[in-house]
Structure 1
Amino acid sequence: MTEPNDQSARLVRNPHLVVVQCTEDEVLVRHGARSRYSRVLRDDGRNRALGPLLRAFERPVGPDDVANRLADRITREQFDQLVAQLSDDGVLVKEGSGTFSLYRGVAGGKPIEGLGAATVGVIGLGQIGAQVAAQLTELGVGGVEALAAGDGKPAAAAWSAHLNGSAGAVPVRPGSVDDDPDTVGAIVDDTDVVVLALEGFRPALLHRVNRVAVAAGRPWLPVYADGSEMIVGPLVVPGESACYNEHEIQHESSRVLRREYLLYSEEQAGQSAGGLPALLPPFAAIAASWAVVALIPFLADGASFLVGRAIRIDFERLEITQEHVLRLPRCPVCSPHRPAFRHPFL
C-alpha cells in the first residue's frame, strides 16, 4: 500500500480503470464491461470531496498538494484514510508503476513494487523463446538469460532480430544443451525459474530438464509445439506440485491409440532442433504469451494458474483444453524429493 503521508511518492489514477463520476460523493469505477472489478464508491459523510480528489489524481501529484486543495472539505485524517483505501483497491497507484503492477491491482491481486529482483532462464532460441524473453523484459523482470537448445544459427539470428526490435539484448550463454548437458544445471542453479521453449515435441529434452530442475528444487515451465497443438505447462514447483514426468504419464494413459502414440513419442525422442519444421509465428506468439501470463504472477507472489495444470491450444479444432495434473504415489523423478512426512497415499 502506498503511504499517503509520503511526500516523495506521487500518486496517479490507475489507467486500467474507468472512473465515472455520478456526483461529488458517488463514483463508479470499472475495469471493463464484463470484468469482475467493479466498485461504487460513496462518501456517506457527503463532504463533496471524493469526486474532486479523483479528478486531482488524473495526473501524477503528491498527496500533500491534493490534501491542501481539499482542506476546506475534509480533514487530513479523513483524506489519508480515503487515499489509503483507494490505494488498497488499486484505484490510486505510484507514479512510474510497471504495466503489470497497474494491471494486477485491478485483476484480483495486490499491486506490487516490481519484478526487478527476479531472474528467469530461457532454454531455446527459437521464436517462442525469443518472445518469452522479450515480454518478460518489457514487464520489468530484472534478469533474463538464454541458452540454446541446439537451435542453430538461423534461430539465433531470429532471436537477435526479435529482441533488438522489442526488448533490447538478452544475454545468451555459451554452449547448447545438446552439446553440453551440464549447461542445463548451470542455468537452473543461477535463475529463479526456468522456461523450456521448444519449437517441437522433444520428450528426451523435456524429461532431462525436469530431472535437473526437480533435483535442484527449482521451478520450471515447459512450453512447446506438437503438430498444430501448443502445450503450455505444467508449471512444476518441486515438492509442491506434479512434475513433467507425471504429466506425461497421465497424457500417455489417456490416449485411445496408445501404441501409435508410443511409437510417435519414441521417434520424437531422438529428434534434434535442426530436424523440426518451422513454427508459424502466430502459434509461437500465442504460446509465449500464455507462458508469460502464467509466469509473471508466480514471480510476484508464487501463485499461478499453471501450477499443477497445463493448457493445450489446438489450432486444428480451435479449442483450449485445461489439464489437471495429478501427483502419482511413486513418481521415479520427484518422489525422492518430496517431504519426509506426507499423505500416506502420496
Structure 2
Amino acid sequence: MGAFNFLSKDMGIDLGTANTLVYVRGRGIVVREPSVVAIQEDTRQVLAVGQEAKQMIGRTPGNIVAIRPLKDGVIADFDVTQSMLKYFIKRAYPKKSLFFQPRVVVGVPSGVTEVEKRAVEEAALQAGAKEAYLIEEPMAAAIGAGLPVEEPTGSMVVDIGGGTTEIAIISLGGIVTSKSVRIGGDELDESIVQYIKKEYSLMIGERTAEEIKLNIGSAYPKSNEPKMAIRGRDLVSGLPKTLEITSSEILDALHEPVNSIIDAIKYTLEKTPPELAADIMEYGIVLTGGGALLDGLDKLVRRETGMPVRIAEEPLDCVALGTGKTIEEIETLKRVLISPKRLR
C-alpha cells in the first residue's frame, strides 16, 4: 500500500451526489461544496463549480447547463466528475507544489459495481491523486460517527445521502450485512415536486423543493401545523403563482420514499445474526447523512423497529470525517479500505 506519511498531502473525500467534502490530514474538513458543475454545452468548458454552479440550477441561458455529475451515488458523467474533483483538490491545497500529489481515500456506496468503483478510482487519479483508495460509505460514516467498528460488537449505521441510503451492520472492521437503496435527499425533493404538481398544477424547481423539505418537511406527524408560502409556475395559466402548503401535505408527499428507507432498515435487521442484533438492541441505530436531519425520521425509525435510534453528532460530515480518520490512523484502519489492487 505504501506508507501514508506526514509529508504526503493525504486527504479523504466524500464524493456525494449532493455535496462533496474534502478532509485534509491534520487540518480537518476544508472543502464543503455542492456537487454541481456549470458547463458551456457546445464546448464542454467548465464555467463554475460548487456553490456558484448550484446558484445557476434552473436559471441558465440555453448554451450553459448546470449539472450534477453523480447520480444515485455513482459517476454519471466521468469527465465532469474529474474536472470537479480536480477543482476541489486544488481548493484544498491552494499552494500545492508540483511535486506533491495527494493520496486520497474516497467513499463509495456499498452497492456499487466493480466498474463503478474503478470509475471513482480513475477519476481521482486523473484529477491529480498519486494513489486512490476506496472505502464503503457506511463504514466511513460509522467511523466518522465514532462507532467502535474494530470491536467485536455490532454497530448499525443508516447513512442517508443525496442519492443513496446505505444501511450496514458492522463488526470487527468489516460489514457483516448491508443494503444500499438508491433513495436519498434528491428523491425526497423529487417527491415534493411531483406532489405539488399533482395537487396544485404548480411547477416548482428542485431548489424550492429542497427549501420546503428543510423548512416544513417531516417523516412523522407534528402536533402543530407549520405552513410555508411557495412560488412556482401555474401549469394552467403559465404564469407565476404563490400558494401556501402545510407540513402534513409534505408528510404525505414524502411517505413513499421514506417508507422505502424504513423497509430497507427492517430488511437489514432481519438478515442480522442474533448476537449482533442483541448488540444493536442495546446500542441502537445511528442515523448519518443529510437525510438524518429530516424532522421526525428518528422517531419513525424507533417506532417501526422498536430499536433505540440516535442522530450522529455531525450527520452531514460523518463520511468525510470517516475517510479522514482512516487517513489519520491508516495503520490500524487500513483493512477497512478497498485496495486498488483488489479492483483490477
Taking structure 2 as the reference length, the TM-score comes to: 0.26
More strand by share: 2
Taking structure 1 as the reference length, the TM-score comes to: 0.26
Max radius of gyration: which structure?
Answer: 1
- Of structures 1 and 2, the one scoring higher in RCO (CA 8 A, sep 6+) is 2
